[in-house]
Structure 1
């Protein structure tokens, strides 16, 4: 059984291979007009984050964790996605994290927890977490009570976007040559197989995404009795674009307005 095609995205999206370069260009342009503060949360090469502040006192902190199957990209590819929450008065943190195969998926989750804690030292008030694809997995895991998170009492909402909630199928893809998941790892790090968190969770996915990602979002929403939003007309690469706009349904769902 080979599920590699089920979890392939770019080949099924028009001009899919061009999206990463477009993200990077938009992110770089955004940082010119909205410089980020760089912060360290550990000693590792990729244990840093970018923090963007709104005008005036922040209403709270939103943390966005990028995707890329835990093996690609950095916050510098997605800075422009801070625009929507900033426009709503929220500070935005975007953490980098070590990538597979140098790191494990579980290790990435724990790095992200430290990044959230570090960013929370800079911004008072409520904390909301969101992330896309592999980043959606990471923030869903951070919602789980078995992950140490010292600011859990400040956490008010988690919105995984197109998350990978059950990691077991990935063991039967070519991705696992890099991820190196075994069955105990996949079970331990699958949000779907963890108890329902105490914090409110809303799962977001695009209507035109691959069936595997639609299924993953549905499974998590059912397992956790969480709301599920299927955004019309969106595929896996443009489902995050709502974060560029303060008034979008996605931005408003994340910051709670």
Structure 2
């Protein structure tokens, strides 16, 4: 099969390309750096020519409050071009709990993007993944001041990017779901504890202070960002990933 991976040069998209290629498929990464611009539509027609499925692994390059405008324009252009190219399957990478944290502007924008896929002209699948292991240190950087990191007790169920990429690839080679598949890692941990585990594994001398008002994830309560019943649970554990 032939796949176009939009956002295919990024951290997750590149792993989707690698996974599909290793399975014997032709997966081509596309991004602005390769001449494909979702906002203008430039390069989309040749990128989607002869493609069986298109995978959207893009992130908004704009601030949270403006991300809805980006997704509205970019997704509209992508799905219109996919319809014109007779692409049979459009796969979107989204976020677990995206519809359960309305106070986060970026999550509201992703909900809009999902709705555009649902109501669009191409048969679709939405793969929602939890937070990636690879982003935990970045999340910590948002609330670091000197030698302290303030983190809330928000529950996360993080997943290795490679595991998420395999889930996206598996969905992409199959028939459209016309629905959502959630994927998550095997362990549920409070974000402040994830911070302490990470600092210990890295030999980082910073101290985590529990603060349930710190950072954007403080807006999520309860199990909003964890997997629901029926989700696909990936095998890689955070402790093992850190050790590796």
- TM bracket, shorter-chain basis: 0.3 to 0.5
Structure possessing the higher radius of gyration over alpha carbons: 2
TM-score (norm 1): 0.37
TM-score (norm 2): 0.38
